[in-house]
Amino acid sequence: MKTDQSSAPAAVRLHAAPPTRKLTILALDPSVRSSGKLLRTQIEIPNEVLSAGPRGYRVHIVDYDATTGSFRSPAPIPAGMNGESGPPCDPFEKLSEDRLLADPDFHAFMAYGIVMKTLARFEFALGRRVGWSYGGHEIHVAPHAFADANAYYSEQTRGLHFGYFTSADGERTIYSCLSHEVVAHETTHALLDGLRERYLYPSSPQQGGFHEGFADIVALLSLLSAQSVVAKVLDLGARKASGEFLPRAQITPEKLRRSGLFALAQEMGAELSGVHGQALRRSVTLQPRADYLTSGDYDEPHDCGEVLVAAVLNAYLEVWVERLKAIGDRRKLDRQRAAEEGAEIADRLLTMCIRAIDYCPPTDLQFGDFASAVLTADWELNPHDEKYRLRGALLASFKSYGIEPSSLCSASHQEGAWDRPPDGFQYANTNFDSLQSDPGELFRFLWENRGPFRLNEQAYTRVLSVRPSIRTGPDGLIVKETVAEYHQQLTVLARELRGLGVAKPSGMPADMAVTIYGGNALIFDQFGRVKYNIGNSILDPSRPEVQERQSRRLAYLWEHGAFDSGAARMRAFSRIHAQRGTSWYRSLRRPE
Amino acid sequence: MAAIPSSITVRMYNVGFGDCFLLTFHYGASERTARHMLVDFGSSAAPRHAPKDYMRRIAEDIARQTKGKLDVLVATHRHRDHISGFAAEGAGAGKIIAALKPDHVILPWTEHPDAAPDARAARFLGSLETMHELAGAALRTSRNPGFAGRETRAQLQFLGDDNLKNLSAVENLIGMGKRGKAWYVNAGMTLNTLLPGVNITVLGPPTLEQSDSIRTERARDPHEFWQFCNFWEARLRTLEAASKPATPPDDPPPSVRWFIQQTRRVEAAQMLELVRELDTVLNNTSVILLLEAGSRKLLFPGDAQIENWTFALRNPSWRKLLADVNLYKVGHHGSLNATPKSLWKLFHHKGSEQQPERLQSLCSTRSGKHGNARAGTEVPRRILVEELRKNSAFASSDEDCASGLSKTFEIRL
């Protein structure tokens, strides 16, 4: 054995080390060039003393290729990178383009960098450490995982797998780990699974679509929060651009969408079309229309997710163009400033979208729930929304794509945001301190308040998580909150459904065991009081819409074979991704 | 000779996992006037307790039953379990069949040996070729030691084997078609002149244009089609390129062994998924034939799955035709997705034993060879078989031919 021990850093003076390091990555896929050159960027990620691999406290790169069955020894850590002599260096900053593309060590470091950056982005937005769904602390990453135009997150391997394949002309090898978008997308699947594990269970087209759509939103907004990428979009959008200035007439949401983002998608998809480049291409071509989700044509998870991506990207463009009105003169505007604004808006929107996850119900998510969650999460920290008016733009854009916020908010603070629950909870027996981190304490609180929480006493109830969270409020002061989620499941025989007000799917045998789910996300304020109670009751005789939702879900799952044995968990992203490519002969709609 | 058959004998041969049906149309009492039609002759797993040369014995029986002359031969699609008996090499069953000099040979449009109607179809046919090669590559990979668990490996080999090119059988079929008359069919064609008093309607496979017509606005995106072709080409290219590692692999340290082991399992499962996918595409090139003689209707859908059926099931007049089918050859050996619920719902003659003129269903299969019950993919699928038993007169080659080569069913007109 020649690894690990030899590479373990012996004595590094960490006290002097800065909290972050810089690492060169490709901002966009190698197929995208700017004046003939690759688009490099330096990202800032948490600094740590790395072992060979690289391997750090959250990410373990394992260069194992399943197609050839071969393992490549961990990449050594270049001298200076662990801060042996001053601040940690970025060994790839000056490397030639050919070396970057061909060097498997760079591939490993780039994948490491983007996974770390995406993770840090989530932790920043949520104000706490974020874990993986499987309980371990590290995630494996295979940068050259197999010979296929595919990439996936697998809970089974506790890993992210990035394939490679030969280009259409047979000349070059394309590595999906060199696509910033692909790596960020797959990392987001893993992070979202850690935050909301129920979202990978079969439920409805929108819940499946949400995993895909959210991963695309995070990946695309991550790209767009790099100024060099935004500058590229501007150049593609405003064809008559010269030097430092852009002609104002060229800067419209439509132009940026059609020529800017679309052309960028084309360049990204030039070689990786089997894997991702498509998400952007498709989303920017979906014009606002309110009937996509009800038409039945968007039930496949990727298709469904694209509607959500389109709504967010549309809001992004609207806000950006609106903002550009404030800079430059009547005829032209400063290219640099315009790019800065674009990157800033993408960054803010990204924070909003990630933060929204805490405000999403833990089971049976619908896009309308996400819309309400985004609006609530942002209102909490930024009630005025004056500079960019992001909430207003998002709300309008969601509606234009047929995504109506689930909350019919009666309060006047923000249209579409969740309501605060009526105050009627019993806190007398709850220990405030343990309530912030102990699932057992939270369960006691739930049980003692089973009346106001409308818990179903026949169902099995479990607290999935309790996490303290620290965010900076609008006044600059620290806001301490506790974020928790619980979940209920009730298993009955199909013939008992009617008595509960839920329709039995036609053709389902009467003696079949059926499980229905419910669950809530709880936000406690700094005093340990329930601030939000967001979710789906398992059943609620006083609200027929709850039973209707369960009926719809069962009918959908029954139709799609989720009750067949072995289909209990559809935890197979790779399958969803592969289907993209094979959908031709299978994309016929079923006549049932 | 009477212009309308007086009765039909359907002979279901026990080929193990595969299909072979001989239909004899009787015109009055004389055997000389009978006409014969063979639908498929293939096997990918032998029947239980079968002698080694079971395929040759079946071929000889077919020759005996037809008195040395076959009128119509149908090969529904290019899967080993439907055409292996037509191979002229090896046991020579194919030579026996060729000597029966079929007048008409019916094959799906995708098997036309000459130019495809247009560039798009040519591209599609190219993809089918690629899939056969891919099946071969998957088969070779699955033989690597330690590649996958026993069950996954057995499934991969079974499916991989079924999807090979079967070149000898295909060449023999094309040869027979040239000597007689070949019909490369697609949905909507009628073949009413082949057998006196028998109308044959082709319900599938749809052409590419026909498929277009039922796809949604969005799926009609030409990009989808090119992706489909690229998908298979890219997979074959990379699988071939990767078959030889460039540098000798390093020895994995303990810290990565768990991950490697899990990864190999996932990878094998993925390959199986891929091979299943291509199996489905090829099943969907199946010819679907509806035979009408007098007031009787017989339905032979090969292995057509839902995607192939969709075109036919959209056609109201065909739905009407299908309503009073008397004999149904169960699609794809009893797998669930080859008997669409919407098709099953159409059949009027299904019902309990009291049902007059009860639907006859014939299932040629061999259990324990394809899929597994735990994953809900076993063939024949238990819940489908239960429904067929309950609501039709059900016969399975696996259970009902055990004592002999075949079982016969008489249909009086």
Amino acid at A262: F
**Nearest residue, CB atoms, A157 vs list B216, B263, B277:** B263
**Nearest residue, CB atoms, B263 vs list A64, A166, A564:** A64
Please give the Cα distance from A573 to A200 (Å, whole number).
Answer: 9
Shared domain check, A222 and A180: no
Helix, strand, or coil here: B341?
helix
Which residues are CB-contacts of B13 (< 8 A; sequence separation ≥ 6)? B20, B21, B22, B41, B58, B61, B62, B364, B397, B401, B405, B406
Name chain A contacts of B260, Cβ cutoff 8 Å: 62, 64, 71
Shared domain check, A515 and A378: no
User: Which chain A residue lies closest to B146 (C-alpha atoms)?
Assistant: A69
Q: Do A69 and B270 touch (CB under 8 A)?
A: no
Q: Do A586 and B239 touch (CB under 8 A)?
A: no
Query: Is residue A416 domain-resident?
Result: no
Shared domain check, B372 and B304: yes
| Residue B263 touches partner A, C-beta closer than 8 Å | yes
Among residues A139, A170, A195, the one where a domain terminates is: A195
The residues pairing with A164 across neighbouring beta strands, listed in sequence order, are: A147, A175
Among residues A400, A418, A444, the one where a domain terminates is: A400
**Nearest residue, CB atoms, A582 vs list B277, B314, B373:** B277
CA dist A14 → A10, A11, A50, A81, A344 (Å): 11, 9, 12, 13, 32
Q: Which residues of chain A have pLDDT under 50?
A: 1-7, 274-275, 565-592
Name chain A contacts of B263, Cβ cutoff 8 Å: 64, 66, 142, 145, 157, 159, 161
> With a CB-CB cutoff of 8 Å, which residues 335-364 of chain B face chain A?
340-342
Shared domain check, B123 and B265: yes
Q: Do A66 and B267 touch (CB under 8 A)?
A: yes
**Nearest residue, CB atoms, B263 vs list A142, A566, A567:** A142
Q: What is the pLDDT of residues B66-94, one digit of tens each?
A: 999 999 999 999 999 999 999 988 768 99
| Residue B151 touches partner A, C-beta closer than 8 Å | no
Shared domain check, A23 and A138: yes
pLDDT for B146 equals 66
Shared domain check, B169 and B200: yes
Q: Do A587 and B215 touch (CB under 8 A)?
A: yes
Mean pLDDT, residues B237-253 taken together: 69
Residue B326 in this model has a pLDDT that exceeds 50: yes
Shared domain check, A339 and A223: yes
Q: Do A566 and B253 touch (CB under 8 A)?
A: no
pLDDT for B117 equals 72
Query: Is residue B251 domain-resident?
Result: no
Backbone angles phi, psi at A535, to 5 degrees: 170, -165
Which residues are CB-contacts of A6 (< 8 A; sequence separation ≥ 6)? none
> How far A239 CA lies from chain B's nearest CA (Å)?
26
Mutate to test the interface with A, among B207, B218, B258 (most CBs of A within 10 A): B218
Helix, strand, or coil here: B269?
helix
Q: Is-contact A313 A306, C-beta < 8 A?
A: no
**What is the CB neighbour count within 10 angstroms for residue A94?**
8
**Nearest residue, CB atoms, A585 vs list B247, B249, B307:** B307
Q: Do A584 and B224 touch (CB under 8 A)?
A: yes
pLDDT for A579 equals 38
- Tell me the pLDDT band of B374, cut-offs 50, 70 and 90: low
Shared domain check, A183 and A255: no
Q: Do A591 and B313 touch (CB under 8 A)?
A: yes
Q: Do A71 and B218 touch (CB under 8 A)?
A: no
Q: Do B211 and A580 touch (CB under 8 A)?
A: no
Query: Is residue B250 domain-resident?
Result: no
Q: Do B256 and A71 touch (CB under 8 A)?
A: yes
**What is the CB neighbour count within 10 angstroms for residue A357?**
24
Name chain A contacts of B310, Cβ cutoff 8 Å: 588-591
Higher pLDDT pick, B287 / A165: B287
Query: Is residue A586 domain-resident?
Result: no
Shared domain check, B223 and B329: no
Q: Do B310 and A588 touch (CB under 8 A)?
A: yes
Q: What is the pLDDT of residues B179-219, one digit of tens each?
A: 999 999 999 999 999 999 999 999 999 988 887 776 543 44
Shared domain check, A159 and A95: yes
Query: Is residue A99 domain-resident?
Result: yes
**What is the CB neighbour count within 10 angstroms for residue A83?**
20
| Residue B28 touches partner A, C-beta closer than 8 Å | no
Residues in chain A: 592
**CATH number for A87:** 3.10.170.10
Sign of the CA dihedral running A443, A354, A286, B228 = negative
Strands B72-74 and B104-108: parallel
pLDDT for A557 equals 82
Identify the residue whose tokens are 């038993």. B389
Name chain B contacts of A156, Cβ cutoff 8 Å: 262, 265-266
User: Which chain A residue lies closest to B285 (C-alpha atoms)?
Assistant: A585
What is the rounded average pLDDT for all residues in chain A? 85
Shared domain check, A438 and A562: yes
Q: What is the pLDDT of residues A533-571, one digit of tens each?
A: 999 889 988 889 889 989 998 988 887 766 754 443 333
| Residue B409 touches partner A, C-beta closer than 8 Å | no
Please give the Cα distance from B383 to B335 (Å, whole number).
Answer: 10
Count of domains observed in chain B: 2
Q: Do A273 and B230 touch (CB under 8 A)?
A: yes
Q: Do B227 and A273 touch (CB under 8 A)?
A: yes
Query: With pLDDT > 90 as the criterion, what percentage of chain B qualifies?
Result: 53
User: Which chain B residue lies closest to A292 (C-alpha atoms)?
Assistant: B218
| Residue B377 touches partner A, C-beta closer than 8 Å | yes
pLDDT for A109 equals 98
Shared domain check, B69 and B210: yes
Query: Is residue B249 domain-resident?
Result: no
> How far B166 CA lies from chain A's nearest CA (Å)?
22
| Residue B130 touches partner A, C-beta closer than 8 Å | no
Shared domain check, B182 and B86: yes
Shared domain check, A281 and A175: no
Domain that holds residue B267: 119-160+215-242+257-280
- Burial label for A560, CB within 10 Å (0-12, 13-18, 19+), is middle
Q: Do B260 and A71 touch (CB under 8 A)?
A: yes
Domain that holds residue A235: 205-400
Shared domain check, B41 and B172: yes
Q: Do B263 and A66 touch (CB under 8 A)?
A: yes
Query: Is residue B287 domain-resident?
Result: yes
Which residues are CB-contacts of A309 (< 8 A; sequence separation ≥ 6)? A213, A216, A217, A220, A279, A283
Shared domain check, A263 and A123: no
> With a CB-CB cutoff of 8 Å, which residues 29-48 of chain B face chain A?
none
pLDDT for A463 equals 94
Count of domains observed in chain A: 3
Shared domain check, A369 and A241: yes
Q: What is the pLDDT of residues B18-40, one digit of tens each?
A: 999 999 999 988 888 999 999 99
> How far A298 CA lies from chain B's nearest CA (Å)?
9
Please give the Cα distance from A77 to B241 (Å, whole number).
Answer: 30
Q: Do B266 and A154 touch (CB under 8 A)?
A: yes
Mean pLDDT, residues B271-278 taken together: 80
| B167-171, long-range: CB < 8 A, 24+ apart | B168/B87, B168/B88, B168/B89, B168/B90, B168/B94, B169/B42, B169/B75, B169/B83, B169/B84, B169/B85, B169/B86, B169/B87, B169/B88, B169/B94, B170/B78, B170/B83, B170/B86, B170/B111, B171/B88
Mutate to test the interface with B, among A582, A583, A589, A592 (most CBs of B within 10 A): A582
Mean pLDDT, residues B120-138 taken together: 84
Shared domain check, B397 and B337: yes
| Residue B241 touches partner A, C-beta closer than 8 Å | yes
| Residue B319 touches partner A, C-beta closer than 8 Å | no
Shared domain check, B341 and B210: yes
User: Which chain B residue lies closest to A158 (C-alpha atoms)?
Assistant: B259
> How far B151 CA lies from chain A's nearest CA (Å)?
15
**CATH number for B106:** 3.60.15.10
For helices A335-356 and A227-237, angle between their N-to-C axes, nearest 10 degrees: 120
Mutate to test the interface with A, among B141, B250, B314, B383 (most CBs of A within 10 A): B250
Shared domain check, B276 and B134: yes
pLDDT for A531 equals 93
> How far A1 CA lies from chain B's nearest CA (Å)?
6
**Nearest residue, CB atoms, A157 vs list B219, B230, B266:** B266
CA dist B322 → B76, B117, B347 (Å): 19, 30, 7
Amino acid at A560: H
Shared domain check, B196 and B47: yes
Query: Is residue A585 domain-resident?
Result: no
Query: Is residue A44 domain-resident?
Result: yes
Sign of the CA dihedral running A413, A416, A418, A423 = positive
Shared domain check, A88 and A20: yes
**Nearest residue, CB atoms, A148 vs list B238, B253, B310:** B238
Higher pLDDT pick, A429 / B55: B55
Query: Is residue A65 domain-resident?
Result: yes
Q: Do B263 and A73 touch (CB under 8 A)?
A: no
Residue A211 host element (H or E): helix A205-224
Name chain A contacts of B228, Cβ cutoff 8 Å: 581-585
ipTM value: 0.86
Q: Do B234 and A166 touch (CB under 8 A)?
A: yes
Shared domain check, A391 and A507: no
Instruction: Give the angle A20-A21-A22 at the CA atoms, nearest 5°.
Output: 135
Q: Is-contact A252 A52, C-beta < 8 A?
A: no
Q: Do B217 and A66 touch (CB under 8 A)?
A: no
Q: Do A67 and B242 touch (CB under 8 A)?
A: yes
Shared domain check, B201 and B296: yes
Query: Is residue B1 domain-resident?
Result: no
Among residues A147, A176, A195, the one where a domain terminates is: A195
